[in-house]
């Protein structure tokens, strides 16, 4: 049995994919061997920012194919990870779910952790991750 690669998508990745039916981020949903994860906290962020009914419909279609994992307020960030209160739950949910990758476009808060792995979780931007899998 082949093990799926667990990939947590931050709300900004799903948001960007849902903005247009031709977004390059749709590739996440067509790559074999991935299980895409999200969390209630991430979904709340996403759902508070829909631009239109079409955006909402596309996003909800993408979400329906993802596994929603638990928010993990019982966990704490690694000692060398410092995130604002609004972003820590994303990292903790990905970590708690055993994801190998946390994919986010949030350079301001997650940028210091791009291309780094802690507790088995690597933080990457969407396009570098897609390029890595294409190799």
- Rounded CA-CA distance 40/89 in Å is 10
Q: C-alpha angle with apex 100: 98 to 106, nearest 5 degrees?
A: 105
pLDDT of residue 27: 93
Which residues face 123 on adjacent strands? 102, 116
pLDDT of residue 2: 65
pLDDT of residue 21: 87
Q: Report residue 48: phi and psi, to 5°.
A: -80, -5
> b/e string for 111-124 if b means 16 or more Cβ within 10 A?
eebeeeeeeebbbb
Q: Report residue 5: phi and psi, to 5°.
A: -80, 120
Token pair listed for 8: 């947590």
Share of the chain residues as helix, strand and coil, in percent rounded to the nearest 5: 45, 15, 40
pLDDT of residue 4: 87
pLDDT digits (tens, 9 = 90+) for 44-71: 999 999 999 999 999 999 999 999 999 9
pLDDT of residue 100: 97
Structural domains of the chain, count: 1
Give the global pTM: 0.95
pLDDT digits (tens, 9 = 90+) for 7-36: 999 999 999 999 998 999 999 999 999 999
pLDDT digits (tens, 9 = 90+) for 80-133: 999 999 999 999 999 999 999 999 999 999 999 999 999 999 999 999 999 998
pLDDT tier at 1 (50, 70, 90 boundaries)? low
Domain range for residue 64?
5-134
Whether residue 39 is predicted with pLDDT greater than 90 in this model: the reply is: yes
Token pair listed for 28: 């996440």
Report the DSSP pairing between strands 116-118 and 121-124.
antiparallel
CATH number for the domain including 41?
A: 3.40.50.1010
């Amino acid at each position: 049995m082949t093990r799926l690669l667990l990939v947590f998508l931050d709300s900004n990745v799903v948001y960007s994919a849902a903005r247009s039916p031709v977004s390059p981020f749709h590739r996440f949903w067509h790559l074999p061997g991935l299980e895409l994860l999200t969390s209630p906290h991430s979904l709340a962020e996403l759902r508070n920012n829909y631009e239109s009914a079409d955006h909402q419909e596309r996003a909800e279609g993408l979400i329906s194919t993802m596994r929603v994992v638990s928010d993990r307020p019982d966990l704490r960030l690694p000692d060398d990870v410092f995130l604002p209160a609004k972003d820590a739950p994303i990292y903790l949910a990905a970590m708690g779910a055993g994801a190998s990758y946390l994919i986010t476009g949030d350079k301001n808060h997650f940028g210091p952790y791009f291309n780094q792995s802690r507790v088995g979780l690597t933080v990457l931007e969407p396009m570098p991750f897609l390029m890595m899998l294409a190799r």
